[in-house]
């Protein structure tokens, strides 16, 4: 049964929100609010691979199901769609013009600046290596390996095979190169450089988002996304294990070697740089750049400064509450959805690297206690982030916008 024309703009809006990686519970909330303000009775269910729309009128019901591949997070598109949604709710745009606006948004997401992305991946690896405490040799090669990973990202857009094996392939290539570099440079930090080079792909944010959905009672969608994120993590870990297995059979490698001689001031440079690198990756709009970077920097330093006093669980919880408050403030100032800034703040808190290090220690570190401690930290960070979002009211329904009433006097 074909959906009547009066419902088509809601279908297209839901598809766009799904495509750009918005969590399911937020999509359902957006569509419900739009429908209510337009006097439409509807029920919506968003899942990782499809959306189900059901519309009701006095005599009939209309059901429309569309299969859509899982979306990737695009904060710039989300911000523009939020503005479009508010225009629809406030009756500032004709329904016939909604598709045209969505086409403009889709077109903007295809405007990719490869040079900016190349720099983003390069400096994401370099700045993270500074954040975790390394040395100048490892830092320089982290920059090089970060640039190589973007070349693989570019190849993945051209080859379906590379796209399918990308996570394992990128980890394998980085690991083999790092093992060879460790033969030439005695101070080279093998494990930390591997981690820094692929940090941008480790699905810490995806795991957190999945747990958000589960907490908000979107159980099917959240469980599916959590499983997908864990599979991505294991594919990356398999690439590292394979690379180390190949290289250790040929050469002697000391996985426990670690040298750190970076001055402390480098950390204060690395935090804002790392926060800046996520901007082109998530296609953040220019008007949201300053507040987005500031949110990420504040999130990290608030949590780090409190961790020495309150411990990792309480400090991450307080840091998450602070990030929610900051993102709401900046959202009101810039008239941008708070989720745009909240996501950039949470990125600085998510335990993706801790998860990866925990897996590594389980296989390579003979100390069971050390591995257990890292997994414990991962669990504490995840619980603290979700708890902070929960207590901050992030999972509650969107507050309905009041429809603007024009004064014709």
pLDDT in tens, 255-270: 666 777 777 788 788 8
Q: Contact at 8 Å (CB) between 215 and 207?
A: no
> Residue 407's pLDDT band (boundaries 50, 70, 90)?
very low
> Residue 151's pLDDT band (boundaries 50, 70, 90)?
very high
Q: Give the tens place of pLDDT for each residue, 57-75.
A: 777 778 888 888 877 778 8
At residue 9, the pLDDT reads: 83
> What radius of gyration, in Å, describes the C-alpha atoms of the chain?
23
Summarize the confidence of residues 2-16 as an average pLDDT. Answer: 81
Mean pLDDT of the chain: 79
Phi/psi region, residue 30 (left: phi>0; alpha: psi -120 to 50; beta: rest), is alpha
At residue 23, the pLDDT reads: 81
Distance of CA 107 to the CA centre of its chain: 22
Label residue 268 exposed, middle or buried (CB < 10 Å: 0-12, 13-18, 19+).
exposed
In DSSP terms, 44 is beta-bridged to: 53
Element (H, E) at 67: strand 61-67
Closest CA to 395 of 225, 211, 223, 216: 216
Q: Contact at 8 Å (CB) between 367 and 221?
A: no
pTM of the complete model beyond 0.85? no
Give the chain's length: 409
Phi/psi at 62 (5° precision): -125, 130
At residue 408, the pLDDT reads: 39
Separation in Å, CA 84 to CA 98, 116, 212: 8, 27, 25
Q: How far apart are CA 166 and CA 156, in angstroms?
A: 7
């Amino acid at each position: 049964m074909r959906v009547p024309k009066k419902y088509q703009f809601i279908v297209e809006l839901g598809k766009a929100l799904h495509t750009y990686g918005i969590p399911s519970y937020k999509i359902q909330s957006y569509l419900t609010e739009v429908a209510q303000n337009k006097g439409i009775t509807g029920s919506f269910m968003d899942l990782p691979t499809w959306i189900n729309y059901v519309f009701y009128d006095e005599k009939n019901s209309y059901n429309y199901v569309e299969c859509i591949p899982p979306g990737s997070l695009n904060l710039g598109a989300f911000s523009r769609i939020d503005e479009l949604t508010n225009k629809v709710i406030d009756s500032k745009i004709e329904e016939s013009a909604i598709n045209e606006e969505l086409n403009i948004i889709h077109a903007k997401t295809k405007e990719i600046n490869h040079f900016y992305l190349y720099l983003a991946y390069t400096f994401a690896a370099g700045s993270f290596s500074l954040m975790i405490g390394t040395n100048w040799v490892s830092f320089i090669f982290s920059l090089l390996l970060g640039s190589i990973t973007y070349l693989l990202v570019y190849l993945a857009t051209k080859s379906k095979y590379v796209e399918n094996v990308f996570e394992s392939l990128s980890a394998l290539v980085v690991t083999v190169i790092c093992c060879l570099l460790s033969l030439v440079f005695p101070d080279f930090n093998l494990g930390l450089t591997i981690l820094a080079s692929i940090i941008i792909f480790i699905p810490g944010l995806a795991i957190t988002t999945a747990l958000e959905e589960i907490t908000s009672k979107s159980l099917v969608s959240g469980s599916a996304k959590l499983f997908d994120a864990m599979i991505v993590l294991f594919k990356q870990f398999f690439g590292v294990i394979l690379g180390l297995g190949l290289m250790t059979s040929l050469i002697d490698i000391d996985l426990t070697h670690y040298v750190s001689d970076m001055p402390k001031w480098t950390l204060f440079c690395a935090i804002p740089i790392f926060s800046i690198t996520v901007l082109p990756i998530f296609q953040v709009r220019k008007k949201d750049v300053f507040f987005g970077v500031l949110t990420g920097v504040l999130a990290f330093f608030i949590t780090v400064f409190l961790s020495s006093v309150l411990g990792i669980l309480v400090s991450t919880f307080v840091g998450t509450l602070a990030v929610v408050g900051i993102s709401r403030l900046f959202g009101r100032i810039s008239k941008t959805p708070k989720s745009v800034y909240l996501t950039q703040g949470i990125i600085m808190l998510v335990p993706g690297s801790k998860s990866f290090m925990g897996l590594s220690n389980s296989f390579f570190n003979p100390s069971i206690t050390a591995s257990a401690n890292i997994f414990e930290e991962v669990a504490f960070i995840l619980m603290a982030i979700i708890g902070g979002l929960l207590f901050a009211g992030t999972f509650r329904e969107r507050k309905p916008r009041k429809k603007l009433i024009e004064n014709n006097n």
